[in-house]
C-alpha cells in the first residue's frame, strides 16, 4: 500500500472517530495496524477504538504493543490516560491508578513546557515591540533634526536682522 493510501485511510478513520462511528474507525485502524510496522499513534488509536467498543482485554493487548519512546508529551499523556482507563475497566485498580498518576505527571510536564514556550513567545513579542518603538523614536528624531535646524536658522536670521537694525541706528 502506498503512503498516500495510508494517509487517506488514517484521515478517514479520524473522520469516523469525530462523527462517533467507532466501529468503522476500528476497522480502518485495524487494517492500518495489520500493515507493515504502523506508527505508534495508529496502534494507540486502534486500541482506543477497541476500548470504545468494550473489548478492554483486546485493547490492553494492543496498547502493550505501542512503543512510547517516540511519543511527545501530549501523545504520552494520552497513552497513560487511555491505558489507565482500560485497566480501570478491567478492574485492575492499582495499575490504573499508577497509569493515571503517570498521566498527571506527563500532563504537568506538557503544561510546564507550554508555559515556557509561551514565555519565550511573550519575550520575543516584547523585544519586537521595543524594536518597533525604538525604530519609531529614531525616525521621529531624524524627522525632528531638520526642523530643529530650520528653527535655528530662523533664530539666526531674526538675530541678524535685529543686529543690523541696531547697527543702522
Q: Tell me: the pLDDT tens digits for 6-38?
A: 888 888 888 888 888 888 888 888 888 888 777
Residue owning grid cell 485511510: 9
Beta carbons of 26 and 53 less than 8 angstroms apart: yes
Beta carbons of 47 and 66 less than 8 angstroms apart: yes
Show me where the domains of the chain are located: 3-122
The set of cell numbers assigned to 103 is: 498521566
Please tell me the distance from the alpha carbon of residue 60 to that of residue 155, in angstroms, as a whole number: 89
Q: Does domain 3-122 have CATH number 1.25.40.10?
A: yes
Q: Tell me: the pLDDT tens digits for 30-80?
A: 888 888 777 888 888 888 888 888 888 898 888 888 877 777 777 888 888
Q: Tell me: the pLDDT tens digits for 107-135?
A: 788 777 767 666 666 666 666 666 676 66
In this prediction the pTM is 0.61
Amino acid at each position: 500500500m502506498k503512503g498516500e493510501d495510508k494517509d487517506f485511510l488514517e484521515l478517514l478513520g479520524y473522520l469516523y472517530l469525530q462523527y462517533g462511528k467507532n466501529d468503522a474507525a476500528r476497522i480502518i485502524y485495524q487494517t492500518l495496524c495489520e500493515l507493515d510496522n504502523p506508527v505508534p499513534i495508529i496502534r494507540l488509536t486502534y486500541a482506543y477504538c477497541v476500548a470504545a467498543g468494550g473489548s478492554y482485554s483486546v485493547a490492553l493487548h494492543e496498547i502493550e504493543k505501542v512503543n512510547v519512546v517516540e511519543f511527545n508529551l501530549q501523545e504520552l499523556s494520552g497513552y497513560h490516560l487511555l491505558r489507565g482507563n482500560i485497566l480501570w475497566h478491567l478492574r485492575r485498580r492499582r495499575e490504573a491508578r499508577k497509569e493515571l498518576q503517570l498521566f498527571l505527571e506527563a500532563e504537568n510536564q506538557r503544561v510546564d513546557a507550554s508555559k515556557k514556550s509561551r514565555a519565550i513567545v511573550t519575550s520575543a513579542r516584547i523585544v519586537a515591540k521595543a524594536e518597533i518603538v525604538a525604530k519609531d523614536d529614531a525616525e521621529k528624531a531624524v524627522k525632528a533634526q531638520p526642523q530643529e535646524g530650520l528653527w535655528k536658522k530662523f533664530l539666526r536670521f531674526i538675530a541678524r536682522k535685529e543686529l543690523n537694525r541696531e547697527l543702522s541706528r
